[in-house]
Structures are given as C-alpha cells and as structure tokens.
Amino acid sequence: MYPLAADQPYPRNQWWVAAYASELGRTLLARDILGEPVLFYRTENGDPVALAGICPHRAFPLKRGRLVGDAVQCGYHGFTFAADGHCQFVPSQKNVPQKSALRRYLIVERGNLLWIWTGQESLADPGLIPDMEAIGPGNPDWVVEQHPLATVDARYTLLIENLLDLSHVTFIHANTIPGGSKVVEIPVTLAETERSLTVQRNGQNLPLNPLIQMQFPHQKGPVHQQFDAEYLGPCLIRTGGAISDAASGTVLGIQNFLHMITPASPTRLHYFVNTARNFGLDNPALATMNLGMGTRIQPEDIDAIETIEAVLQSGATLPTEISARIDNGALKVRRRLEAQIFAETGCA
Ligand code: FES
Ligand SMILES: [Fe+2]
C-alpha cells in the first residue's frame, strides 16, 4: 500500500485516539476505526464503552438501536448486548445464542481524549499511550484548545508525511501562517529516540510577526522559534516548539500543535487537533486566534492530501518516487511504521 512496503496498511497493536471525551455520552456514537465499525457510549456511571458496531444477528448497525441502562438494544429485532459485549437478551426465547457477543474494545480516558486499543488485548499496555501531560493536555501549567474533528478522505500515512515535512508551510500555508514563508530556508536536523523521531528546524533571529507580538506583547526584538515535527507514533505528531528572545536566549513560551491521527479505513482518517501553550494562560484572545487559525490552516492540508489520495486511487501510472534531503525524517518514519507492522504480521 503506497507508500508502505507492508501489505497491512496499519499497525493494530497500537493505541489510537477514538474520540474527544466530550463526544461520548448517553447517545450512541458510531465511528469507523481501522476499518471496523465501532459503537461508543457511556454507562450510567459515565464510564466509556466501545463495542463492535454491527449486530451479529443480521448486520443491522447498532447505532440505530438504543440504550437500555448500560446495555445496547439492536433496533431491528431487539437483541440486547451488555456493556462488556455479551448478549444478555433475545426477545422471544429464553436462551441467548452461543458466540453472540460483540467485540469489546479496551478504551482509556485521559484528559480530553479517549484512546482505543485495536490489537491483541493481552498486549494492551496503557503505559504505551503517549505522555500528553508533557506536551500540554492535562497539565495545569498549560492551556489547551480542542479543534473540531475532521474526517479526511486520505490514507493516514499521507497526513503523517505532510506533518513531518514542514517545508510545505512555505507553499501551502504561505498566507495563513505568519512567518511561514521562511520555514523552507531553515536547516533541518533529526533527533531520534526509541519512541520518537523529531525533524527539527530552529529559526534564528526571526523578525517579530503579528502572531508572536500577540502571543508575547512585551517582546520587542527578534525571536528564535522552533518548528519541530515530532513523531510520537502513528497516532500522534507534535509540531511547534519553543519561542525565545533572540538577544538573551530566554524562552518566552512553548506553543505545541498536537495532531492525533487515526485510520478510519485504508483510505480515510480521523484528524483530531489540539493546540497547547504554557504562556498567556489567561488570555482568551489567544484561544480564539488559535481556533480561528485552525479553521483556515487545516483545510489547506486536508485539500492537499485528499488531492493526492484521489491521484493514488485514479489508477494513473505514477512516476517513480523521488525524495530530497528534507524527506529523511519522513522516510525513517516509514521504515519505523513498516517495522511495527511487520513485527505484528510476522512478514517482512
Ligand atoms: S439485526 Fe440486530 S437483532 Fe436482528
Ligand atoms: Fe500543514
């Protein structure tokens, strides 16, 4: 599957963001995750539940059913499934058919996010969920804006590669990201750890732009600004970084853009975005500005990757792919992702 050498398009032994915590309640929510229809809701106690979303009786979508206490009753013939997935009631007969349980997915609520484990249950370690507090969400010293979920007609790897090569900012976001026109000129370095790979661009002595001025009203001179793209697994990429006073090197603050990516199917993805900053905590104008910028910037990326997805699906003969130095990070991430998939499928 382009651009991976692996046949399976995504790793399954992986935590992914399934939903914003605020999306789940006592109304049934249906969402495709890694090609599987999943049904979400909360029990009467408020615990999140994720069950297979199709009724095993005659394949009616359970989203069209209703909650009966903590159980889901199918809207077609009334088979009823408990929150752990087992079938507890079949109208018109006393016994329930064997093997009639729905798959129950493990789900963990952390801050404003709900994480789902899509693989083998015995391997689900909540310690593998990215440490969001370290980069903003759930940390009392930071403020976080939650941007609306977008579901995009593109394979998730296209969004990963979009985010890992921020030189696109200069072209796609030339008019929407202040100072973006200079990003392509900033030299790139790579930093790798076992769990992350960061494509770093450290902008030096950048002139103040209206955005920085609004974020740091007392700043008078040029700034150093990090344009990081940190891969923290296929489920999460952090962009942004520290902004410092160029004269003294003092860090003024950190602005992170957190991109949570979840495959919906081999050719669709769910895109959750949070902005997080550790400055201007009591300045609501910054929240308004971040959310407003999101509504202008995000569609530019979505348009680019949906356009590429359409090319890939058109059946056109594609040119042999060429890569430049700026693609080193993205290429290494492809290899990491392939290794992760090969490790669970057992083929290479
Ligand atoms: S399809 Fe669900 S009960 Fe028949
Ligand atoms: Fe972008």
Digit-coded pLDDT (tens) for 173-226: 988 888 777 788 899 999 999 999 999 999 999 999 999 999 999 999 999 999
Instruction: Give the atom of ligand 1 at the shortest distance from the alpha carbon of 59.
Output: 1
Give the mean pLDDT of 72-81. Answer: 98
Name residue, tokens 């789940």.
Answer: 24
- State yes or no: pLDDT of 1 exceeds 80: no
Examine residue 218 and state whether it is found in any structural domain, yes or no. yes
Examine residue 80 and state whether it is found in any structural domain, yes or no. no
- Give CA separation, 286 vs 141, 260, 289, 290, in Å: 16, 21, 5, 6
For the chain, the domain total comes to: 1
Smallest CA separation from ligand 1 atom 1, residue: 58
Question: pLDDT for 252-275, tens place per residue?
Answer: 999 999 999 999 999 999 999 999
Handedness of CA 220, 221, 222, 225 (dihedral sign): negative
- Give the pLDDT of residue 7: 87
- Give the pLDDT of residue 348: 57
Average pLDDT over the chain, rounded to an integer? 95
Least confidently predicted of 77-81, 99-103, 260-264: 99-103
- Give the pLDDT of residue 100: 86
Examine residue 180 and state whether it is found in any structural domain, yes or no. yes
Examine residue 79 and state whether it is found in any structural domain, yes or no. no
List phi, psi (to 5°) of 305: -75, -30
- Give the pLDDT of residue 325: 86
* CA atoms of 41 and 50, how far apart (whole Å): 7
Read off the CATH number of the domain in which 208 is found. 3.90.380.10
* CA atoms of 154 and 309, how far apart (whole Å): 5
Examine residue 282 and state whether it is found in any structural domain, yes or no. yes
- Give the pLDDT of residue 347: 67
51, 54, 55: which to mutate for ligand 1, most atoms within 8 A of CB?
55
Question: pLDDT for 228-250, tens place per residue?
Answer: 999 999 999 999 999 999 999 99
Does residue 272 have its Cβ closer than 6 Å to ligand 1? no
- Give the pLDDT of residue 184: 83
Does residue 74 have its Cβ closer than 6 Å to ligand 1? yes
Domain that holds residue 219: 134-345
- Give the pLDDT of residue 200: 95
Does residue 64 have its Cβ closer than 6 Å to ligand 1? no
* CA atoms of 193 and 250, how far apart (whole Å): 26
* 151 vs 345: which has the higher pLDDT: 151
Give 49's contacts (C-beta < 8 A, 6+ positions apart).
Answer: 40, 41, 42, 43, 70, 83, 104, 107
* CA atoms of 79 and 55, how far apart (whole Å): 8
- State yes or no: pLDDT of 115 exceeds 80: yes
Examine residue 185 and state whether it is found in any structural domain, yes or no. yes
Examine residue 341 and state whether it is found in any structural domain, yes or no. yes
- State yes or no: pLDDT of 326 exceeds 90: no
Question: What is the H or E stretch that residue 305 is in?
Answer: helix 284-313
